[in-house]
Amino acid sequence: MSSIRKILIYTLFAVVFLFFLYIAFRYRVKLLRIIAPLLLAAVIAYLIYPVVLWLEEKRISRTWSVLIIYFVSLGIITASIIFIVPHLINNTKELMNVLPDVAMDFRENFNTFIRNIKTSKWPPDIKESIFKEINKGTYFVEKVAMDTLKNYLWGIAKTATVALDLIIAMVIAYYLIKDAKSFRDGGLSLIPRKWRNGVIGCCREINAILSNFIQGQVLAAFIVGIMITIGFFIIKLKYPLILGMIAGIFNIIPYFGPVIGAIPAIAVALIDSPIKALWTALVVILIQQIENIFISPRIIDDRVGLHPVTTILVVLIGGEFFGFVGMLVSVPVAAVLKVIAKRWIEAVV
């Protein structure tokens, strides 16, 4: 193939990719609202599919396998509501009660810090520079706090919508697993015969990537959440259950998740003392090292196929344009696009 044709193909691919990226950004709110149940359904399907296969080996039909998993999951959720949620509510109430004291302590320390700077013998220009940076930092913190509060209130208002999305996702996941063969055959019937082998290979590679990422990240986050919660209990950190759960949930986000999830725990530890905050940070760092060395290599095993630098960039881009959901889905989406691009280029070049 001539170099001119290669350039044209690469240019066409870049234009198509940028066009879809623009459409996704332009209508991101509507798209997220539409595809949220589909994304959740895909996650549910990938999480329960290994159990469905295991039950099928026990000669239980796929329909009953999915229903059994749903009923067992409902029982676990109910038990969690009965035994765990009250503790979470109590921890949350206690945390909300001490927040004013925390804010007052930080305000007093901040005022003391400002007074020390004003009474110091430092040159006026240095003091002015410090105060400018402090003002910038204060504005940033206030903005983050207000945005967090708005998102929290908006999240409460959307609880019913989330519950409806979950129900819809469970129904879709049921049919995705039950009628997987019908979906596959129907999709292949729309593809010319000469392309089918390539499409099948591409879909298998995408399926392996998504399966490994979703199952691996959720399992790793669950294990890390339990370990961090136990660590918080050992160092006698306040509200260990809810803080450990937060750390585990954010651990799903590659690279940045552990840092984001550790911030609330360290902030609460500062209420007691800087030493407690140091111990909290050490617990999180130790468990993250255990995850990086022993857990992730065995569960995820770098099968997503993205370089660490690429992973960091796509997480940043996803978070910038699509928020928390973007950070969650950016890595698998990038991995899928990489597979499609590679297969498409191999087919036409």
**Rounded mean pLDDT of 186-209?**
82
Mind giving me the DSSP string for 234-260? HTT-SSHHHHHHHHHHHTTSTTHHHHH
- Does residue 178 have a pLDDT over 80? yes
77-81, 152-156, 261-265: which is most confident? 261-265
Closest CA to 248 of 234, 236, 235, 231: 231
pLDDT digits (tens, 9 = 90+) for 97-135: 666 666 676 677 777 777 777 777 777 777 777 777 777
Q: What is the pLDDT of residue 228?
A: 92
pLDDT digits (tens, 9 = 90+) for 250-261: 888 877 778 888
pLDDT digits (tens, 9 = 90+) for 10-24: 777 778 777 877 777
Among the listed ranges 2-6, 150-154, 158-162, 235-239, which one has the minimum average pLDDT value? 150-154
* pTM listed for this prediction: 0.67
Q: What is the pLDDT of residue 234?
A: 92
169-178, 198-207, 324-333: which is most confident? 169-178
Higher pLDDT pick, 236 / 91: 236
Paired tokens of 182: 């019908």
- Does residue 91 have a pLDDT over 70? no
- Helices in the chain by DSSP H: which ranges? 3-26, 28-57, 62-83, 85-118, 124-157, 159-178, 180-189, 193-234, 240-250, 256-272, 274-290, 296-299, 308-348
Closest CA to 325 of 93, 36, 70: 36
Do residues 335 and 4 touch, judged by C-beta distance below 8 A?
Answer: no
Q: What is the pLDDT of residue 158?
A: 58
Cα–Cα distance for residue pair 142/103, rounded to 1 Å: 12
Q: What is the pLDDT of residue 303?
A: 60
Kindly tell me the burial class for residue 44, based on how many C-beta atoms sit within 10 Å of its own C-beta (0-12, 13-18, 19 or more): buried
**Rounded mean pLDDT of 170-191?**
85
Q: What is the pLDDT of residue 59?
A: 87
Kindly tell me the burial class for residue 226, based on how many C-beta atoms sit within 10 Å of its own C-beta (0-12, 13-18, 19 or more): middle
- Does residue 207 have a pLDDT over 80? yes
Percent of the chain with pLDDT over 90: 5
Note the Cα 74 to chain centre separation in Å: 23
Mean pLDDT (the chain) is: 78
280-284, 322-326, 330-334: which is most confident? 280-284
Closest CA to 142 of 110, 113, 177: 110
Q: What is the pLDDT of residue 298?
A: 67
Backbone angles phi, psi at 229, to 5 degrees: -60, -45
Q: What is the pLDDT of residue 130?
A: 74
